[in-house]
Amino acid sequence: MDSCLIWGKNRDGPLMNIRNFSIIAHIDHGKTTLSDRLMEATGAISDREKHDQMLDTMDLERERGITIKSHAVTLRYKADDGQTYQLNLIDTPGHVDFNYEVSRSLAACEGALLVVDASQGVEAQTLANTYLAVDNDLEVIPVLNKIDLPNAEPDRIAEQIEEIIGLDATHAVHASAKAGIGIREILEAVVSQVPPPSGSLDAPLKALIFDSWYDPYRGVVMLVRVMDGSLATGMKIRLMNTGGRYEIEELGAFAPKPVVRTSLSVGEVGFIIAGVKIISDCQIGDTVTSDAEPAAEPCTGFEEVKPMVFAGLYPTDADQYEGLRDAMEKMRLNDASFSFEPESSTALGFGFRCGFLGLLHMEIIQERLEREFDLDLLTTAPGVPYQVTTTSGEELEIHNPSLLPERGSIATVREPVIDSTIITPPEYLGNIMKLCEDRRGVQKKLSYLAKARVLLEYELPLNEVVLDFYDKLKSGTRGYASLDYRLAGFREGPLVKLDLLVNGSPVDALSLICHRDKAEQKGRNLATRMKELIPRQMFEVVVQAAIGGKILCRETIRPLGKNVLAKCYGGDITRKRKLLEKQKEGKRRMKRVGRVDIPQDAFLAILKVD
Amino acid sequence: MIARPPEPEGPGGVYIHIPFCSRRCTYCDFATVAGRDDAMEPYLAALHREIAELQHGAPQVIDTIFFGGGTPSRLTGSQIYDLVQAVRNRFDVLPGAEITLESNPEDLSAEAVARIRDAGVGRLTIGVQSLDPKVLREVGRGHDGDRALKAVEDARAANIGQVAVDLIAGLPGEDPGGWTATLRRLAVLRPDHFSVYLLETDKDTPLTRAMQAGRTARPEDDDLADAWEETTDYLESVGYRQYEISNFARTVPGERDRVSRHNLKYWQDLPYAGFGLGAHAYHQGERRGNRRDLDGYISDLAAGRDPVAELDRWDPVRRLEETLFMGLRLREGVDATRIGARYGLDLQESYRTVWENAEQQGLLVRSGDRIRLTRTGRLQSNAVFGALLGHLPLE
């Protein structure tokens, strides 16, 4: 047992010396650097071990500079009052796709550091997470970071925090995580302002799972916060929502390296390994209780996370299908919010329809599959789930546009809509409002948070957002606007399926569902784009866009003029051979629809057209 | 399939590379040097050593010698003569052997051609490329159209045997009218042979880089196809036979067509030695290529080292594939029975689906033993060649 984790009982009991907190920050506002500094300052990592961005362990996280999975580190801090405290720093994911995980991480805390860049100010994501923290009754401590930068305006930003969030920022800590300024002040603020955990050691065990992952050697590792009672090695436990029963094999805390302990008590944060083999048996937000003496009620707020973005993932090389399946199964062990089921496409062959929390989640999964399993993947344009009621009263959920039933047999189609929050400097209001209106948005609110900060709320169909909304928002506001959103539900709408036909055959992987009023323009743009992307073939190729049986437009790709090696002598043979092989490889990588070879980028054309 | 390389079906050839040029043309990616005339002597010494001592697998009996470049017309008569003698010393050169030399118009005069002739050359190819002054200036040629025409006339007058002209379609600045004029003005001079290349823009050359940077327009594929069609129609109408995708030989009643016998070796799976900078060779089932840096080449030979830089070892499938895609470039196509016997497989059967698909697309015809491309097939030949590659698993 590591000595730093033995807590002497003092006059107020063990809970008094525990502080559980997380850090809320916009991307790039310095959360990870601050976490590193807190670890250094408390001796959790020495200089020798220092490795920038300690908490972001995955390569991808480090490259993208965002946290994808939650982490928790237990720090030992000797405060100015002479007492030693156990500080549990719970790192939260930094993207709207992982909102649910953020909410569970916050539910494990009593306090949060609200880190705001002293030159940039409050952003939508920060605002949303701060509201989440306030809703969870967390004590929020404002920290103005990067105050050493020449353009820092701590007073103005403090004012902004007060105006926008309604927090008293007069005592905000001025810090620079990078320069090591204000680190001790932050730790003191955590000790003095964040309340100690409540709960009872004698009550039946109740521990909230706020993250879990799959370790290839140990099985599933759960990160928990003990709300009541205690956990001990060998204890029989039950997961209250899924009903699974296990025995604790090992438990402990991260400091930041794993330290094995014999028990975790009320208020503490740590990990459990209990022989859980599949991550989906151990969902984030579930409650661990004692099998012998279960708690009456689980922790509140548990939700089954549902994927809201779907796309087809196909191996570019059909031989990699089995490899892709294995890789996805391994990926799912580690990520319960990723789903997949086999599908086949006439254009793309055999692949999988995959569900993701959002676009970033999709990109991450795709990148990890390619990088960690050495696969070459083709991803179809992402779409959203649609709820369809047929004329015979059947209820369907459609994840692949090509599977939308015939128009005649559809009674209603409902699409997911979101409530979005956008914060922007006022000069870009026009651009944003135009963008939102183009995307069928309904304005719910427009208010000035401060002189230079406007908050907009729009209800938007999710399918108008998944493709390129964020990019358009950023480019229309020079990167100044920030966006956050929550799923608001499903709404009925006049939605139709747009098909793309190549030499008369519909290309299933290019079907999409869109609003009736937008279908014609989209169809035209898509056909024009395909004309640019499909190389000339030996014969004429006709590209058409259609709704139902109605053809909207037609583009013709002329037959190839020539495909010949101009000259070929003794010295050229090896080079020409390579050229022919390259050409052939290029052709092999194309997908064949009927007789027409279609390059892989063409399947992403939907992403690029309005 | 056969385990060892098949015996050659006839005499081989010798290629000799002369890399020196007065300037570098913007479209050229051959192993050439400009402004290095200082290296001529050591280079020739190296070349002589390579001819005398290296490429032991080269065919002993040959009936063609080809001086390519670069600009071999920059050699003096005695330098050419010495190299021909060096080849005769090493190889058994059959009587009536074809000895070709590539030249640039600005190096040619009546006297110059006579010297080349007297050195033993019986076939002179002239790099005309175009007669359009705008085009010639643009690509950095050292002559104008009149000079090129004069060179052809001088060569004819000097009675050098055969005179051939090389042209490139699709060079920057060219328009369809200019191309037609080039063909017509040359054809009236009755050269024995035309090589007409379509500009390739996939090589790393100053011209390609200019196209990538948008400084020069890239020729449209359709325009190149039109130029090829026009060339084929026109030259065939005035007594030239397209015997290979980009080569046309004058037909003379009662005589053999004036084809390039040396180049036929490449298309007919015959062996050849290749000496000099960047030169390629094919013998004993292996393809090899020399290094392309002048000083390295010279120092290798000074030390008695083989300057080889690329080696593609014997593999029956690779050699068969090359035999097919080279052979199908010829108008006469390939003899399936003979090639099948050489490589030890039933060619008709092994590639059945390739032939059938190409036939269905109108690219190819089979009649008896012969398999050949149609006219459309010649213009779309890569579709057929690509299908041949990798059709059989490599051994």
CA distance to partner chain B, nearest, from residue A446 (Å): 48
CA distance to partner chain B, nearest, from residue A563 (Å): 4
Task: Residue A557: list chain B partners with CB under 8 A.
Answer: none
> How many Cβ contacts (< 8 angstroms) between chains A and B?
101
Cβ–Cβ gap B382/A583 under 8 Å: yes
The set of residues, in sequence order, having a beta carbon less than 8 Å from that of B301 and lying 6+ positions away, is B45, B46, B47, B49, B50, B307
Cβ–Cβ gap B389/A580 under 8 Å: yes
Per-residue pLDDT of B103-117, as tens digits, reads 999 999 999 999 999
Q: Which CATH architecture has domain B316-388?
A: Orthogonal Bundle (1.10)
B289 in contact with chain A, both atoms CB, cutoff 8 A: yes
SS3 string, chain B, reads: CCCCCCCCCCCEEEEEEECEECCCCCCCCCCCEECCHHHHHHHHHHHHHHHHHCCCCCCCEEEEEEEEECCHHHCCHHHHHHHHHHHHHHCEEEEEEEEEEEECHHHCCHHHHHHHHHCCCCEEEEEEECCCHHHHHHCCCCCCHHHHHHHHHHHHHCCCCEEEEEEEECCCCCCHHHHHHHHHHHHCCCCCEEEEEECCCCCCCHHHHHHHCCCCCCCCHHHHHHHHHHHHHHHHHCCEEEEECCEEEECCCCCCCCCCHHHHHHHCCCCEEEECCCCEEEECCEEEEECCCHHHHHHHHHCCCCCEEEEECCCHHHHHHHHHHHHCCECCCEEHHHHHHHHCCCHHHHCHHHHHHHHHCCCEEEECCEEEECHHHHHCHHHHHHHHCCCCCCC
CA distance to partner chain A, nearest, from residue B221 (Å): 6
The set of residues, in sequence order, having a beta carbon less than 8 Å from that of A553 and lying 6+ positions away, is A523, A524, A527, A544, A545
Burial classification of residue A162, based on how many CB atoms lie within 10 Å of its CB (0-12 exposed, 13-18 middle, 19 or more buried)? middle
Task: Residue A571: list chain B partners with CB under 8 A.
Answer: 15, 30, 274, 278-280, 289
Q: Checking phi first, is residue A313 left (phi over 0); if not, alpha (psi -120 to 50) or beta?
A: beta
The set of residues, in sequence order, having a beta carbon less than 8 Å from that of B151 and lying 6+ positions away, is B103, B105, B108, B126, B128, B143
Burial classification of residue A425, based on how many CB atoms lie within 10 Å of its CB (0-12 exposed, 13-18 middle, 19 or more buried)? middle
* Residues A107 and A208 sit within 8 Å (Cβ to Cβ): yes
Tokens of A208: 């909230």
Determine the residue among A558, A568, A583 to mutate to test chain B binding: the one whose Cβ has the most chain B Cβ atoms within 10 Å: A568
Q: How many CB atoms lie within 10 A of CB A413?
A: 23
Report how far apart, in Å, the C-alpha atoms of A609 and of each of A384, A523, A583, A605 are.
17, 9, 28, 7
Which pLDDT score is estimated for A56?
47
Query: What is the share, in percent, of chain B residues with pLDDT greater than 70?
Result: 99
Residues of chain B with CATH 3.80.30.20: 12-265
Determine the residue among A539, A560, A562 to mutate to test chain B binding: the one whose Cβ has the most chain B Cβ atoms within 10 Å: A562
- pLDDT top residue among A467 and A108: A108
B274 in contact with chain A, both atoms CB, cutoff 8 A: yes
Task: Residue A562: list chain B partners with CB under 8 A.
Answer: 198, 221, 224-225, 228, 379-380
> Whole-angstrom Cα distance, residue A277 to residue A8?
36
Q: How confident is the model at residue A53 (pLDDT cuts 50, 70, 90)?
A: very low
* Residues B199 and B142 sit within 8 Å (Cβ to Cβ): no
Task: Residue B387: list chain A partners with CB under 8 A.
Answer: 584
Cβ–Cβ gap B221/A562 under 8 Å: yes
Q: Where are the beta strands (DSSP E) in A383-441?
A: 386-390, 395-398, 410-424
Q: Would the pLDDT of A465 be above 80? A: yes
Residue A580 is nearest to which of B199, B246, B385, comparing CB atoms?
A: B385
> Whole-angstrom Cα distance, residue B328 to residue B339?
12
Which pLDDT score is estimated for A47?
58
Q: Would the pLDDT of A13 be above 80? A: no
> Whole-angstrom Cα distance, residue A580 to residue A23?
57
Per-residue pLDDT of A346-387, as tens digits, reads 888 999 999 998 888 898 899 889 988 999 898 888 899 999
Pairing of strands B286-290, B308-312: antiparallel
Q: Would the pLDDT of A49 be above 60? A: no
Average pLDDT across chain B, whole number? 94
* Residues A376 and A317 sit within 8 Å (Cβ to Cβ): yes
Burial classification of residue A525, based on how many CB atoms lie within 10 Å of its CB (0-12 exposed, 13-18 middle, 19 or more buried)? middle
Cβ–Cβ gap B386/A583 under 8 Å: yes
Which residues in chain B (316-335) have CB-CB distances under 8 A to chain A?
Answer: 318, 321-322, 325-326, 329
Query: What is the share, in percent, of chain A residues with pLDDT greater than 70?
Result: 93
Query: What is the share, in percent, of chain B residues with pLDDT greater than 90?
Result: 87
> Which residue has tokens 């080039």?
B182
> Whole-angstrom Cα distance, residue A443 to residue A446?
8
Nearest residue of B to residue A573 by CA position? B322
Determine which of A20-24, A242-246, A530-534, B140-144 has the lowest per-residue pLDDT on average: B140-144
Task: Residue B228: list chain A partners with CB under 8 A.
Answer: 562, 564
User: In terms of Cα–Cα distance, which of A38, A4, A45, A1 is closest to A22?
Assistant: A38
Nearest residue of B to residue A571 by CA position? B280
Q: Would the pLDDT of A8 be above 50? A: no
Nearest residue of B to residue A536 by CA position? B221
Which pLDDT score is estimated for A350?
94
CA distance to partner chain A, nearest, from residue B42 (Å): 23
Per-residue pLDDT of B293-320, as tens digits, reads 999 999 999 999 999 999 999 999 999 9
Task: Residue B292: list chain A partners with CB under 8 A.
Answer: none
Domain B12-265 has CATH 3.40.50.1100: no
Task: Residue B282: list chain A partners with CB under 8 A.
Answer: 570, 573
* Residues A207 and A224 sit within 8 Å (Cβ to Cβ): yes
Q: Would the pLDDT of A122 be above 80? A: yes
Task: Residue B225: list chain A partners with CB under 8 A.
Answer: 561-562
Residue B245 is nearest to which of A561, A564, A584, comparing CB atoms?
A: A564
Burial classification of residue A256, based on how many CB atoms lie within 10 Å of its CB (0-12 exposed, 13-18 middle, 19 or more buried)? buried
B391 in contact with chain A, both atoms CB, cutoff 8 A: no
Q: Would the pLDDT of A58 be above 60? A: no
Q: Would the pLDDT of A248 be above 90? A: yes
The residue-averaged pLDDT of A497-518 equals 92
The residues that bridge with A113 in the sheet, in sequence order, are A23, A141
CA distance to partner chain A, nearest, from residue B259 (Å): 14
- pLDDT top residue among A467 and A38: A38
Nearest residue of A to residue B282 by CA position? A570
Residues of chain B with CATH 1.10.10.920: 316-388
Q: Which amino acid is at A28?
A: D
Q: Please work out, in degrees rounded to the nearest 5, the angle formed at the alpha carbon of residue A478 by the alpha carbons of A476 and A484.
A: 70
The set of residues, in sequence order, having a beta carbon less than 8 Å from that of B120 and lying 6+ positions away, is B80, B81, B84, B99
Task: Residue B221: list chain A partners with CB under 8 A.
Answer: 536, 560-562
Task: Residue A576: list chain B partners with CB under 8 A.
Answer: 325
Query: What is the share, in percent, of chain A residues with pLDDT greater than 90?
Result: 52
Which pLDDT score is estimated for B32?
94
Determine the residue among B381, B388, B394 to mutate to test chain A binding: the one whose Cβ has the most chain A Cβ atoms within 10 Å: B381
Average pLDDT across chain A, whole number? 87
Which pLDDT score is estimated for B174?
87
> Whole-angstrom Cα distance, residue B140 to residue B297?
27
Residue A566 is nearest to which of B246, B266, B383, comparing CB atoms?
A: B246
Question: Residues of A near B (CB-CB distance < 8 A)?
Answer: 536, 538, 560-571, 573-574, 576-577, 579-581, 583-584, 587
Cβ–Cβ gap A571/B379 under 8 Å: no
CA A398 to chain centre: 22
> Whole-angstrom Cα distance, residue B292 to residue B277?
5
Q: Would the pLDDT of B324 be above 90? A: yes
Cβ–Cβ gap B380/A573 under 8 Å: no
CA distance to partner chain A, nearest, from residue B317 (Å): 13
Determine the residue among B325, B354, B373 to mutate to test chain A binding: the one whose Cβ has the most chain A Cβ atoms within 10 Å: B325
Tokens of A347: 């254009």
Peptide bond into B70 cis (omega under 30): yes
> Whole-angstrom Cα distance, residue B250 to residue A218?
81
Q: Is A296 helix (H, G, I), strand (E, B) or coil?
A: coil
Per-residue pLDDT of A83-115, as tens digits, reads 999 999 998 876 778 888 888 899 999 999 999
Burial classification of residue B217, based on how many CB atoms lie within 10 Å of its CB (0-12 exposed, 13-18 middle, 19 or more buried)? exposed
Residue A564 is nearest to which of B30, B312, B380, comparing CB atoms?
A: B380
* Residues B194 and B167 sit within 8 Å (Cβ to Cβ): yes
Nearest residue of A to residue B286 by CA position? A574
The residue-averaged pLDDT of A141-156 equals 93
* Residues A225 and A234 sit within 8 Å (Cβ to Cβ): no
* Residues B304 and B298 sit within 8 Å (Cβ to Cβ): no
> Whole-angstrom Cα distance, residue A70 to residue A258?
15
A171-174: list long-range contacts, CB under 8 Å, 24+ apart: A172/A141, A172/A142, A172/A143, A172/A144, A173/A141, A173/A142, A173/A143, A173/A144, A174/A118, A174/A144, A174/A147
Per-residue pLDDT of B50-88, as tens digits, reads 999 999 999 999 999 999 999 999 999 999 999 999 999
Q: Would the pLDDT of A481 be above 90? A: no
CA distance to partner chain A, nearest, from residue B328 (Å): 11
Which residues in chain B (5-44) have CB-CB distances under 8 A to chain A?
Answer: 15, 30
Cβ–Cβ gap B389/A577 under 8 Å: yes
SS3 string, A328-339, reads: HHHHHHHCCCCE
Cβ–Cβ gap B202/A568 under 8 Å: no
Which residues in chain B (167-226) have CB-CB distances under 8 A to chain A?
Answer: 195, 197-200, 202, 220-222, 224-226
Per-residue pLDDT of A558-601, as tens digits, reads 988 888 877 888 778 888 898 888 888 888 778 888 889 998 88
CA B195 to chain centre: 9
> Whole-angstrom Cα distance, residue A512 to residue B89?
74
* Residues A128 and A322 sit within 8 Å (Cβ to Cβ): no
The residue-averaged pLDDT of A450-472 equals 88
Tokens of B265: 């070796």
Length of chain A in residues, anyone? 610
Task: Residue B380: list chain A partners with CB under 8 A.
Answer: 538, 560, 562-564
Report how far apart, in Å, the C-alpha atoms of B389 and of each of A117, A428, B321 are.
60, 57, 6
User: In terms of Cα–Cα distance, which of B172, B160, B60, B150 is closest to B104?
Assistant: B150
Per-residue pLDDT of B153-166, as tens digits, reads 999 999 999 999 99
Which pLDDT score is estimated for A186?
96
